[in-house]
Amino acid sequence: MILPELSWQFLYGRMAWALVLAALVVGSWPGAWRLPRRVLVAIVAACGVLVALPGEASGAWHLSLAFQYPSGLLLGLAVCALLRRWRGGTTVDAPLLPLRAAAFIALVGAVLYLDAFGLLSRGYYYAGFGPNAAPLVAVLLAAGCAFAIATGRAREQGAALLGACALFSLARLPSGNLWDAVLDPLLWAWALGTLLVAAVRRLRRARRSLLQPEAPVTASEPALHALGAEPFSPIKE
């Protein structure tokens, strides 16, 4: 087990919480896609000052008590969200956390947290500290992310996950555990919220389709020809 340097861990926690907090503020801002760049810079700077305060006055101190450190993947997605707003992204942009990825994160998170709390007791979480398997998995994930970026598939998500693997491989951030580099409570809650919203929308669509009367089906002329019937015409040759 190789743990990160305490000074690097402290610096990472402050910086990561500043960017994640800024992304949360910007994401909840009304009309965030029309946010001026100077306002975006002011929000990021204000969040940086908030988490840089000493001791219990720091926002990072309270956030770390509740959620530990943000994972490298959550940090990468937060940076992608801020860059989208900087470029003037719109509401029709593809979601940063697609539905399939949210389902996978929700499932893996449930297994890991049950294991960490001792309800499964299979050692899945502690395997992330392994000296051989965990670095190998990180390298394989990084290779997959590089391939996805090169082929133009999920570039933002691939770059975020690649950054998380790099942080773990080079500095063992944020905690020395591979799982903490790609998953954290906030990211897990985000995945669960994405699944919940998708389920509610699907139920609403199903309810609307049941309440709306079906349009009467009329046979078109090509369909009549296909059935061997002649269309009616009052003119006879």
Q: Check residue 26 and give its pLDDT.
A: 92
Q: Check residue 24 and give its pLDDT.
A: 94
Q: Check residue 77 and give its pLDDT.
A: 97
Residue type, 190: W
Q: Check residue 225 and give its pLDDT.
A: 45
Give residue 152's region: left, alpha or beta (phi > 0; psi -120 to 50). left
Rounded CA gap, 73 and 164, in Å? 5
Q: Check residue 210 and give its pLDDT.
A: 84
Residue 225 CB contacts under 8 Å (≥ 6 apart), including other chains:
231
Rounded CA gap, 50 and 28, in Å? 18
Half-sphere exposure of 29 (CA within 13 A, CB side): 19
- C-alpha 229, offset from chain centre: 56
Question: Tokens 């029309």 identify what position?
Answer: 34
Q: Check residue 167 and give its pLDDT.
A: 95
DSSP track, the chain: --PPPHHHHHHHHHHHHHHHHHHHHHHTSTTGGG--HHHHHHHHHHHHHHHHSSGGGSHHHHHHHHH-SPPHHHHHHHHHHHHHHHTT--TTSPPSS-HHHHHHHHHHHHHHHHHHTTSS-S-TTGGGG-SSHHHHHHHHHHHHHHHHHHTTSSHHHHHHHHHHHHHHHHH-TTTS-HHHHH--HHHHHHHHHHHHHHHHHHHHHHHHHHHSPPPPP---HHHHHHTTPPPP-S---
pTM of the model: 0.85
Rounded CA gap, 53 and 20, in Å? 17
Q: Check residue 111 and give its pLDDT.
A: 94
Q: Check residue 218 and give its pLDDT.
A: 54
- For the chain, the C-alpha Rg in angstroms (whole number) is 25
Q: Check residue 152 and give its pLDDT.
A: 87
Tens digit of pLDDT per residue, the chain (237 long)? 688 888 999 999 999 999 999 999 998 887 767 888 999 999 999 999 999 999 889 999 999 988 889 999 999 999 999 999 998 866 557 889 999 999 999 999 999 989 888 888 788 999 999 888 999 999 999 999 999 999 988 899 999 999 999 999 999 999 999 999 999 999 999 999 999 999 999 999 888 888 876 555 554 444 434 444 444 444 443
